[in-house]
Amino acid sequence: MKPWRSEQWCIGAITGAYLWHMEDVLHQYERPYDPRYPLICFDERPCFLIEDLGGILPMSPGHAKRYHYEYGKNGSCCVFLAFEPQTGFRYVEVRTRRTTLDDVEFMQHLLALYPDAHAIRLVQDNLNTHTPGAFYEVLAPQQAFEQGQRFDLHYTPKKGSWLNMAEIELAALVTQCLDRRIPDIDLLTTEVLAWAQERNRKRTTVKWTFAKHDARQKLERHYSKAKKLI
Q: What is the pLDDT of residues 162-208, one digit of tens each?
A: 999 999 999 999 999 998 889 999 999 999 999 999 999 999 999 99
Using one digit for the tens of pLDDT, what is the confidence trace for 5-56?
A: 655 445 668 899 999 999 999 999 999 999 999 999 999 999 999 887 766 7
CA end-to-end span of the chain: 41
Single-letter residue type at 58: P
Contact (CB, 8 A) for 44 and 169: no
Q: Dihedral sign, CA of 90, 107, 165, 39? A: negative
What would the CATH number be for the domain defined by 19-228?
A: 3.30.420.10
Q: Dmax of the chain from CA atoms?
A: 68
The predicted pLDDT at position 117 comes to 96
Q: Where are the domains of the chain?
A: 19-228
The predicted pLDDT at position 57 comes to 74
34 vs 28: CA distance, rounded Å: 11
Q: Is the pLDDT of residue 87 over 90?
A: yes
